[in-house]
Chains A and B, each alone.
Chain A
Amino acid sequence: MWLTNSSIGRKVVMSLSGLFLVLFLTFHMCMNLALVFSPDAYNAICGFLGANWYALVGTAVLAAGFIVHIIYAFWLTWQNRKARGNDRYAVTTRPKSVEWASQNMLVLGIIVILFLVLHMAQFWFKMQLNEIVPVSDANPHDGSYLVIETFKNPVMVVIYILWFAALWFHLTHGFWSALHTIGFNNNIWFNRWKVIGNVFATIICLGFAFVAVALYIQYGVLGWDVPQMPAVH
């Protein structure tokens, strides 16, 4: 199977799974924006994505996308280190045109996953999983309360912004690189894809950061009342 036993095939898997995760991030960012303007609207979206069969299938596909991307990342890195040989260069330099992120994608990816573990424990665990099997006292239908309570804390806002920064670096290389790998590139589109990738990564990360900061200002600084659903769990 060429997607496993050829170098370009393995990169195609990296590329397509990466683009799939970019689509997911885009959706996730858009749904978060709702929370700033209407906690009820946000809860309605969370309702669609609860323990419904289609949401569970979607979650499984998404998890598969993550797992494939992560497994291939370690596999490719292991092969690439082996291909580099046993002796390392004593002096190395990074040419000006080489992005720092492009040489540190695995490290950036690991940072993203570590924060993801925290993120899953804070939200997914108490929301979708909690709806399937009760694992927490939190009301699984009241996502907005959970999120707002989290981002009232400025420490959480800073931690999440660090996460988005790592994600931004990962995406600035990942986006154009994914298109390059599937062959959608040439001398003219080379710079265009880089610019499009940078703009897209910036919009996604700023969108996420905006929600975290806005919630902190609304509820942490201005002291708005946090809307809460009556407990039914």
Chain B
Amino acid sequence: MEKKIDLTLKVWRQRDRKAKGQFETYNVKGISTDSSFLEMLDVLNEQLINEGKEPVVFDHDCREGICGMCSLYINGHPHGPDSAITTCQLHMRKFNNGDTITIEPWRSAGFPVIRDLMVDRTAYDQIIAAGGYTSVNAGGAQDANAILIPKTDADEAMDSASCIGCGACVAACKNGSAMLFVSAKVSQLALLPQGRVEAARRARAMVAKMDELGFGNCTNTGACAAECPKSISLSNIARLNREFIKAKLQD
């Protein structure tokens, strides 16, 4: 049943990377509970533009939970209070009439704020570029069944590969650690024979890049996995530790 709700929004506004940010309070009225969280922000921006004010800057793209572009730290949760979804999949029916919603950007040294709620997540691209791939010869694809892979390994690799690189793990972590992301990206390849070949080099290179970019040290609190929109498992982190330690002991 569609309902209309009125909300108070406390939104983080920040001019640019260096500027000091602060919260601004806005009221939005008559928001449909059938609309998504980002549609609610669209309504807010429409309202701000009509009032001659600067609209709130936030990231979004596919709006169906697969691209990893949307972010937002909503009432203390990356991607909002619901579990295993991204912000774009969050419905306004999760909120009540009269609620105050606090909306903040990801806060981490590795993800500097570009403006308002938009942060620079290119650090993740740099980590992938450091080793999150397999080197293959170009040419015709070989037969899919030429290399046999146990179903359980294939399933686990697929679960790890479901990471969309949104950065919620870093946002949720009190240490600003990117371990859940890096471990998922190392695991999805380390679990498969095609990825095993470069497993040691990959673990070394990706962890080195992660450390260089200023992400924190993992202390196994598990907040990342609890808030992950794709429910990436903490066991990936144990696997990354294993791969990295093995690689270092080989040196």
A172 CB to nearest chain B CB (Å): 12
Cβ-closest 5 pairs across A and B: A183-B242, A83-B216, A95-B226, A83-B176, A93-B76
Residues of chain B lying within 8 A (CB to CB) of residue A9: 248
Residues of chain A lying within 8 A (CB to CB) of residue B107: 84-85, 87-89
CA distance A8 to B206 in the complex (A): 12
Residues of chain A lying within 8 A (CB to CB) of residue B108: 83-85
A93/B77 in contact, CB under 8 A: yes
- Interface positions, chain A 63-113, Cβ under 8 Å from B, are 76, 79-80, 82-99, 102-103, 105
Stretch at the interface among B84-92, B134-142, B143-151, B229-237: B229-237
CA distance A7 to B4 in the complex (A): 49
* A2 adjacent to chain B (CB < 8 Å): yes
Chain B interface mostly helix, strand, loop or mixed? mixed
Contact with A along B219-233 (1 / 0, CB 8 A): 111110111000001
A180/B240 in contact, CB under 8 A: no
* A141 adjacent to chain B (CB < 8 Å): no
| Contact of B176 (CB < 8 Å), options: A85, A99, A184 | A85
* B207 adjacent to chain A (CB < 8 Å): yes
CA distance A136 to B202 in the complex (A): 58
Task: Give the size of the chain A interface in residues (CB under 8 angstroms).
Answer: 45
Task: Give the size of the chain B interface in residues (CB under 8 angstroms).
Answer: 54
B76/A8 in contact, CB under 8 A: no
User: What is A's interface to B at a CB cutoff of 8 Å?
Assistant: 2, 5-12, 76, 79-80, 82-99, 102-103, 105, 173, 176-177, 180-187, 190
A83 CB to nearest chain B CB (Å): 3
Residue among A10, A83, A99 with the highest chain B CB neighbour number at 10 A = A83
Give the A-B pair count, Cβ closer than 8 A. 146
B238/A186 in contact, CB under 8 A: yes
A80/B216 in contact, CB under 8 A: yes
Q: A92 — nearest CB in chain B belongs to which residue?
A: B76
| Contacts known (A82-B214, A83-B214); A102 close to B220, Cβ less than 8 A | yes
| Contacts known (A89-B107, A91-B102); A177 close to B241, Cβ less than 8 A | no
Contact with A along B10-35 (1 / 0, CB 8 A): 10000000000101000000000000
B246 CB to nearest chain A CB (Å): 8
User: What are 27 A-B contacts with C-beta separation under 8 Å?
Assistant: A2-B248, A2-B251, A6-B248, A8-B218, A10-B217, A11-B241, A12-B245, A80-B177, A83-B108, A83-B215, A84-B107, A87-B21, A87-B113, A89-B76, A89-B104, A91-B75, A91-B76, A95-B223, A98-B222, A98-B226, A102-B221, A102-B222, A103-B221, A105-B219, A176-B220, A181-B220, A183-B243
* B65 adjacent to chain A (CB < 8 Å): no
CA distance A94 to B227 in the complex (A): 10
A180/B176 in contact, CB under 8 A: no
B1 CB to nearest chain A CB (Å): 29
B223/A11 in contact, CB under 8 A: no
Residues of chain A lying within 8 A (CB to CB) of residue B226: 95-98
A95/B238 in contact, CB under 8 A: no
Residues of chain B lying within 8 A (CB to CB) of residue A12: 241, 245
B176/A80 in contact, CB under 8 A: yes
A90/B102 in contact, CB under 8 A: yes
Add 9 more A-B contacts to A91-B73, A93-B76 (CB < 8 A).
A6-B208, A12-B245, A84-B108, A91-B76, A91-B104, A98-B226, A102-B221, A183-B241, A185-B235
CA distance A92 to B177 in the complex (A): 17
CA distance A92 to B76 in the complex (A): 4
| Contacts known (A8-B245, A177-B219); A187 close to B233, Cβ less than 8 A | yes
